[in-house]
A and B are shown apart, each in its own frame.
Chain A
Amino acid sequence: SYVLTQAPSVSVAPGKTASVTCGGNNIGTKSVHWYQQKPGQAPVLVMYYDSDRPSGIPERFSGSKSGNTATLTISRVEAGDEADYYCQVWDSSSEFVFGTGTKVTVL
């Protein structure tokens, strides 16, 4: 089955830039979507199709992909960005797959 690997945690100071990565075999051929989940809350879609932002998501959130890695970048990090972030793809054999999740901590 298809596997998406994320670093367990990322720490960043307020005002700095956080990069959340998502690795998977041939991920370059797949569309990657990203979700933010705060404790006790439902996930929220923050990026779709690699780099498209849903309405209401700040421009500080951006997405990219290169080689076997997709990246969600959060610029000018704020305390309110502290959350778990999950990448997700659709794989024709494994259907819908979520990454292992990255906890972003704002120092």
Chain B
Amino acid sequence: DVQLVESGGALGQPGGSLRLSCAASGFTFSSYSMHWVRQAPGKGLVWVSRINSDGSAADYADSAKGRFTISRDNAKNTLYLQVNSLRAEDTAVYFCAREGVVGRHYMDVWGKGTTVTVSS
């Protein structure tokens, strides 16, 4: 089965850092672009970042530029999101998602999400 499993969500201190992980299985991870999408409590989906299949290029939402870093390890079939200088507004469920066939610009497989709570 095609599967994405996120981990690393935690209670973080304002100003602190967290690294989220997303383990992929059931498909050729190195062939797909991957995304992070977040959802604050009771709010809608917000795209955070995308990385291409070989990790050579990444894009970020304006709200993520400067504090978020997306990366991947194709040997480990794992996607990462480093979040620095945590803010209360980063509190959300973070989903990883697979982009459809190259250049298709939609997300066809999603993980169940990992929860980040930022509070002192």
- A residues with a Cβ closer than 8 A to B are 1, 31, 33, 35, 37, 41-45, 48-49, 54, 84, 86, 88-90, 95-101
Contacts and interface: CB of A to CB of B under 8 A. Distances in A.
Given A42-B113, A44-B110, A33 B45 contact: no
B62 A1 contact: yes
How many of chain B's residues touch chain A, expressed as a range?
Answer: 20 to 34
Contact of B106 (A37, A88, A97): A88
Interface string B1-42: 000000000000000000000000000000000010100000
Given A1-B62, A43-B95, A95 B47 contact: yes
Q: Is the interface of A mostly helix, strand, loop or mixed?
A: strand
B49 to A, nearest CB: 9
A89 B100 CA distance: 13
